[in-house]
Amino acid sequence: MMGTTLFIDPGRCIGCQACVAACRECDSHRGKSMIHLDYIDPGRTAAAMPTVCMHCEDPVAPCAEVCPADAILVTADGVVQEAAKERCIGCGNCVDACPFGVPKLDVAEMLQYKCDLCYDRTSVGLAPMCATVCPTGAIFYGSVEELEADRPGAQAVDVFRFGEAEVRTGCAVVAPDTFAGPVPGGM
Amino acid sequence: MSEAGAPRAGAVRYPVVAPGVGDFRGASATEPAAHWKATAAGERLVPTHCCFCGVQCGMYLRVTEGRVIGVEPRNHDINKLRLCPKGVSAYQQVHHPDRLLSPLMRDTRDGPLHLVSWEAALDRIVSEIQRIQSRYGRDAFGVLGGASMTTEKTYLMGKFARVALRTRHIDYNGRLCMVSAAAANKKAFGIDRAGNPWADLLETEVIMVAGTNIAECFPVAMQYFWGARDRGAKLVVVDPRETAMARTADEHVALRPGTDAAFYNGLLHVIVRDGLTDERFIAEHTVGWEAVRDTVAAYTPERVGEICGLDPRQIQRVAHLWGRAGRCWAAHGRGLEQHFQGVENVLSCINVSLATGQLGRPGAGYGTLTGQGNGQGGREHGQKSDMLPGGRDIENPEHRAYVAGVWGIDEADLPPKGTSMPEMIWQMAAGEIRGLLGMCNNPFVSLPNQAVVRAGYEALEFHVQSDFFLSETAARADVVLPSTVWAEDEGLVTNGEGRVIKYNKAVEPPGEARTDWQILCELARRLGAGDKFPFRSPAEILDELRVASKGGVADYYGITYEKVEATGGVFWPCPTLDHPGTPRPFEGGRFYHPDGKARFHAVEWRPPAEPPDQAFPLRLTTGRTVAHFLSGNQTRRLPGLVEQTPRPWVEVHPSLGFADGDPVRVVTRRGAVTYPALVTEAIRPDTVFVPYHWAGPIAANLLTIDALDPISKMPEFKVCACRIERGQAVDPVPEPPMPPGQRPYQPETAPLGDPRPPTSPQGRGTAEP
């Protein structure tokens, strides 16, 4: 069930990296961006796409599943939290397990960092910083109804297929309404 | 929160909200940040706007203990919380370790800069002004301003030059930015203003955007364009590069640089041929149609296709798209304007809108996108060589008399029209201008044909420059005055829509820095004109500006700080205190020539000043990248922006035979620079692109041509002839200049030495090592 969540709409992305700059401003990881911004068709077009933590829900987030230190908690609201600093052992299992390539390992600190959906903001009713500043709405925070009202013909997809495995996520991507089935994940 | 419930220091943050209570999939995205703001102890949120481009996004500066510590999005009517990477990073200028904190001076023209007191610096400036003006005449001292200053400051620049210095030589960096659009707008409409607020875009059916990379230069304006497309609008992008906006456009018109007027004439040819003109609008609201109709008759799609390097069928498709739609919007930027025939290019675009009646209604819009934060307001009130406050004409006797009256001077003492910024540089080299005061500009990066620019400044006997970082231009000055960033002063700014908004002061200036208006008032006092410059605050300057603009085309009389703060901004003209402002100046087909009608102007396409030939077979065009701003003085020291885009590159088509990162030497008749190649299919094979924000040996403006539009005097940045060849090694990025004995701030990630191009024109992907 998609409630108020993040939607990634790559067709609108202009690759400006406002999301990256905004993520760096977070008081809990100042100077480090948790967003991945990829230019996905270099040499051919200016296409770009941001990747945030998709907050996998079915099965349980792979990063949390493989964490030997039980550092990655999933709060009851469905947010897959960043590895707790007092528990994280910097093993990098989560980095390997994440199908979207989201968590980062700071090798100097031996700590994991990842997007926690701006928990300081979303837990009090604010949109995450990336979605707040995104100039184009390529990162959208709201309900699927709000998304559809804003963008007629948009379809939100929250199922990804990686090989044999399907992953249902808490965040979604926007696809044309002609698109059917899970989003093919890269390997 | 009770003490028992207070989180322990260092505790994990999430128990602050009990699990299940703060369901992120139930939370609202649109409510204001009241609760969250209140929890940030001791923090003050100062409402203001961004210091960068002409969009002028609203933002809050987070201030604690007299320091700006960050930014918080602001739900202002212009940007609706959104910001670009420059906007997010803007606050990092405020307490940047490279800030100039005290005046610098060199004792001889070739001696080193050293710290000096304000007293000594001001004494030196005043004695040099007096020496030069008494020896060579008043006009031998020039003033160059800029359009990133508040309107109050730009007004004071003009008044300072004409009243305190009584020199005719004042101009500003908008000469490199907006003047072609301004001149064409005045010719066609009798007013230099955008036709509509951007919110009108949401009702349009066809958008045609020419020569503006909105996704990189005005990212936050994109929400209006994408919003229009969400509602079914078709998008036409005219640009030799397939920019992020052009990528998904319904029509990407990838014409050759320097052929815009031919393209618009071709559109109008088809529109006339196929009976798609609005004859009633033409008859009731315009003058001069017949000459235009006759001129475009020769611009058949086949001929235009030949000139522009386009498929003739695309010209017909675009003409039909535009001509058959009910509501169309034309927008343009520097790609259309920075040309030898920049004014005519803009007029040829306006001709299409006029002939089809696509003006003055919601969804039927027109406007240039102003490049600088105060590009619009900065050109209206008198720092332009031919203008007086209120958009008045310095050669019009009535206008002169009015402004002289406001200033309390004899009209005969008001100097005549001066010359443009590029011409002033030439006059410096020729010894006609011997001394210069520069504020808010960096010609050592921003002007074309840098060798000539350097020669002009080298020939000066005295040069004073103010800035908050030591710009490349300031580093060559005899006296450098430390000035403030936008967060350390208040004042009005007019965005690209013609909407007047206000910067608010967040913190005190650091060290001995002073605002530019304080500097001008103090210099005026020492020059014996203190009674004309008694201002103690920007509000007092505004009060005089309002009167000085009253009755002019750009009438700001009804605009006050209170009114701006109480609304989402006020659109000029606003002639009385109870006037609501003018969001849509052309509503009802009303224009600002005495007869109320718009003017057509017949335009014949002319080739660029320097067409390609056998020796220089390619076209070089220049422009911006999203992480940097204009001459880069404000952005090349901010770590996040440097990490995103550390260096310039040359964009080349794969057919030219280079690989990504190859050193490619770009050669023009004026210079040669070796850049790393960014090889992409998203550019015409006959065109190469270099971004212009960098200085010294890697400046794109070492290569560009200083051919000027005969009307606007805008240089032709957007096309000149070049050739490319395999280079030895990529030219390195120089460190930004610093006062003697200091090194620039070195962020942990210091990619300045990296010779590679970015992944894409917008920068380096975050996964890149």
The predicted pLDDT at position A122 comes to 85
Chain A contacts of B230, Cβ < 8 Å? 150-152
Chain B contacts of A126, Cβ < 8 Å? 27, 29, 31, 33, 36
Confidence of residue B374 (pLDDT cuts 50, 70, 90): very high
pLDDT of A81 strictly over 50: yes
Do A17 and B85 lie within an 8 Å CB cutoff?
A: yes
A141 touches chain B (CB under 8 A): yes
Distances (CA, A) of B303 to B312, B605, B734: 8, 12, 46
Is the entire prediction scored with pTM above 0.90?
yes
Chain A contacts of B240, Cβ < 8 Å? none
Chain B contacts of A146, Cβ < 8 Å? 29
Report the alpha-carbon distance of residue A134 to residue A117 in Å, rounded: 15
The predicted pLDDT at position B753 comes to 74
Do A137 and B31 lie within an 8 Å CB cutoff?
A: no
Nearest residue, CB atoms, A20 vs list B26, B85, B682: B85
Query: What residues form DSSP beta bridges with B690?
Result: B622
Q: Which amino acid, residue A184?
A: P
| CATH for A41 | 3.30.70.20
Query: Can you list the domains of chain B with their CATH numbers?
Result: 21-93 (2.20.25.90), 104-176+374-486+510-554 (3.40.50.740), 179-318+328-359 (3.40.228.10), 618-753 (2.40.40.20)
Report the alpha-carbon distance of residue B415 to residue B160 in Å, rounded: 12
Q: Which residue has the higher pLDDT, B423 or A3?
A: B423
The predicted pLDDT at position B6 comes to 37
Among B25, B62, B72, B660, the residue to mutate for chain A (most A Cβ within 10 A):
B25
The predicted pLDDT at position B767 comes to 84
Residue ranges of alpha helices (H) inside chain A are: 18-24, 62-66, 93-97, 119-122, 129-133, 144-150
User: How many degrees, rounded to 5, is the angle at CA B750 between CA B103 and CA B61?
Assistant: 60
Confidence of residue A126 (pLDDT cuts 50, 70, 90): confident
Q: What residue numbers bound the domain in which A71 lies?
A: 5-184
Nearest residue, CB atoms, B759 vs list A33, A42, A86: A42
Residue ranges of alpha helices (H) inside B101-190 are: 118-136, 151-159, 179-189
Structure-token pair, residue B174: 């908008």
Report the alpha-carbon distance of residue B636 to residue B626 in Å, rounded: 12
Residues with Cβ within 8 Å of B130's Cβ and at least 6 positions away in sequence, in order, are B527
Structure-token pair, residue B563: 């009114």
Q: Chain B residue with minimal CA distance to A5?
A: B25
Q: What is the mean pLDDT of residues B212-218?
A: 97
The predicted pLDDT at position B757 comes to 94
**B433 in helix, strand or coil?**
coil
Do A22 and B626 lie within an 8 Å CB cutoff?
A: no
Do B14 and A11 lie within an 8 Å CB cutoff?
A: no
Q: Chain B residue with minimal CA distance to A150?
A: B230
Residues B539-562 pLDDT 10s: 999 999 999 999 999 999 999 999
Decide: A46 and B247 in contact? Cβ < 8 Å: yes
Among B24, B62, B641, B660, the residue to mutate for chain A (most A Cβ within 10 A):
B24
**B581 in helix, strand or coil?**
coil
A86 touches chain B (CB under 8 A): yes
Q: Please choose, from the candidates B596, B579, B578, the residue with its C-alpha nearest in 3D space to the C-alpha of residue B587.
A: B596
The predicted pLDDT at position B749 comes to 58
- Residue B231: DSSP 8-state: T
Do B219 and A137 lie within an 8 Å CB cutoff?
A: no
Do B88 and A124 lie within an 8 Å CB cutoff?
A: no
- Rounded to 5 degrees, φ, ψ at B46 are -95, 115
The predicted pLDDT at position B19 comes to 28
Average pLDDT taken over every residue of chain B: 93
The predicted pLDDT at position B750 comes to 57
Residues with Cβ within 8 Å of B8's Cβ and at least 6 positions away in sequence, in order, are none
The predicted pLDDT at position B2 comes to 35
Chain A contacts of B220, Cβ < 8 Å? 135
Q: Chain B residue with minimal CA distance to A134?
A: B82
Q: Which residues of B310-342 are buried (b: 16+ CB within 10 A; e: fewer)?
A: bebebbbbbbebbbebebbbbbbbbbbbbbbbb
Chain B contacts of A78, Cβ < 8 Å? 23-25
pLDDT of B42 strictly over 90: no
A3 touches chain B (CB under 8 A): yes
Q: Please choose, from the candidates B110, B111, B108, the residue with its C-alpha nearest in 3D space to the C-alpha of residue B124.
A: B108
A45 touches chain B (CB under 8 A): yes
**B593 in helix, strand or coil?**
coil
Residue whose entry in the numeric block shows the structure tokens 């390097």: B309
- Do β-strands B392-393 and B286-287 pair in parallel, antiparallel, or remain unpaired? unpaired
Strand order in the sheet with B104-105: B114-115, B104-105, B479-482, B462-467, B435-439, B141-145, B170-172
Widest CA span of chain B, in angstroms?
A: 84
Among A9, A17, A33, A130, the residue to mutate for chain B (most B Cβ within 10 A):
A17
Residues B704-731 pLDDT 10s: 999 999 999 999 999 999 999 999 999 9
Strand order in the sheet with B67-73: B44-49, B58-64, B67-73
Distances (CA, A) of B749 to B640, B642, B649, B752, B754: 9, 9, 20, 9, 11
Q: Please choose, from the candidates B435, B443, B424, B428, the residue with its C-alpha nearest in 3D space to the C-alpha of residue B462.
A: B435
Q: What is the mean pLDDT of residues A169-178?
A: 91
Taken in order A112, A115, A119, A121, the sign of the CA dihedral is positive
Q: Element (H or E) spanning B475, and its range?
A: none
pLDDT of B278 strictly over 50: yes
Q: Please choose, from the candidates B274, B371, B392, the residue with its C-alpha nearest in 3D space to the C-alpha of residue B322.
A: B274
Confidence of residue A153 (pLDDT cuts 50, 70, 90): confident
Report the alpha-carbon distance of residue B204 to residue B225 in Å, rounded: 10
Decide: B148 and B310 in contact? Cβ < 8 Å: no
Chain B contacts of A135, Cβ < 8 Å? 82-84, 219-223
The predicted pLDDT at position B440 comes to 97
Residues B86-97 pLDDT 10s: 999 999 999 999
**B722 in helix, strand or coil?**
strand
A94 touches chain B (CB under 8 A): no
The predicted pLDDT at position B41 comes to 66
Q: Chain A residue with minimal CA distance to B653?
A: A43
Do A3 and B654 lie within an 8 Å CB cutoff?
A: no
Report the alpha-carbon distance of residue B693 to residue B758 in Å, rounded: 15
**B221 in helix, strand or coil?**
helix
Q: What is the mean pLDDT of residues B223-241?
A: 96
Chain A contacts of B73, Cβ < 8 Å? 129, 132-133
Nearest residue, CB atoms, A141 vs list B29, B85, B223: B29
Report the alpha-carbon distance of residue B582 to residue B605 in Å, rounded: 34
Q: What is the mean pLDDT of residues B618-647?
A: 96
Distances (CA, A) of B322 to B207, B226, B329: 8, 18, 9
Q: What is the mean pLDDT of residues B489-507?
A: 97
Decide: B234 and B205 in contact? Cβ < 8 Å: yes
Residues B94-139 pLDDT 10s: 999 999 999 999 999 999 999 999 999 999 999 999 999 999 999 9
pLDDT of B13 strictly over 70: no
Among A1, A44, A45, the residue to mutate for chain B (most B Cβ within 10 A):
A45
Q: What's the number of domains chain A is made of?
A: 1
The nearest CA of chain A is from the CA of B643 a distance in Å of 10
Nearest residue, CB atoms, A18 vs list B27, B88, B244: B88
The predicted pLDDT at position A69 comes to 95
Q: What is the mean pLDDT of residues B726-754?
A: 86
The nearest CA of chain A is from the CA of B7 a distance in Å of 14
Got the DSSP string for B243-297? -TTGGG-SEEE-PPTT-HHHHHHHHHHHHHHTT-S-HHHHHHHEE-HHHHHHHHT
Q: What is the mean pLDDT of residues B325-352?
A: 98
User: How many degrees, rounded to 5, is the angle at CA A147 between CA A145 and CA A152?
Assistant: 95
Do A46 and B28 lie within an 8 Å CB cutoff?
A: no
Q: Please choose, from the candidates B173, B174, B187, the residue with its C-alpha nearest in 3D space to the C-alpha of residue B345.
A: B187
A17 touches chain B (CB under 8 A): yes
Distances (CA, A) of A39 to A15, A44, A68, B65, B726: 7, 10, 33, 40, 26
pLDDT of B7 strictly over 70: no
Chain B contacts of A31, Cβ < 8 Å? 639
Residue whose entry in the numeric block shows the structure tokens 């990630």: B749
The predicted pLDDT at position B748 comes to 63
Q: Chain B residue with minimal CA distance to A136?
A: B223
* The most confident of A154-168, B57-71, B473-487, B748-762, by mean pLDDT: B473-487
pLDDT of A58 strictly over 90: no
The predicted pLDDT at position A71 comes to 96
Q: What is the mean pLDDT of residues B269-282?
A: 98
Decide: B25 and A3 in contact? Cβ < 8 Å: yes
- Do β-strands B462-467 and B435-439 pair in parallel, antiparallel, or remain unpaired? parallel
Chain B contacts of A169, Cβ < 8 Å? none
Instruction: Report the percentage of chain B scoring pLDDT > 70.
Output: 94
The predicted pLDDT at position B630 comes to 96
Please state the separation of Cα A133 from the chain's center in Å.
16
Report the alpha-carbon distance of residue B248 to residue B681 in Å, rounded: 15
Instruction: Report the percentage of chain A scoring pLDDT > 90.
Output: 70
Q: What is the mean pLDDT of residues A32-45?
A: 95
Distances (CA, A) of B381 to B378, B421, B546: 7, 17, 10
Q: Chain A residue with minimal CA distance to B768?
A: A38
Distances (CA, A) of B555 to B194, B487, B583, B598: 15, 26, 14, 20
Instruction: Report the percentage of chain B scoring pLDDT > 90.
Output: 92
Q: Chain B residue with minimal CA distance to A75?
A: B19
Q: Which residue has the higher pLDDT, A19 or A163?
A: A19
Do B24 and A44 lie within an 8 Å CB cutoff?
A: no
Nearest residue, CB atoms, A133 vs list B31, B82, B627: B82
Chain A contacts of B34, Cβ < 8 Å? none
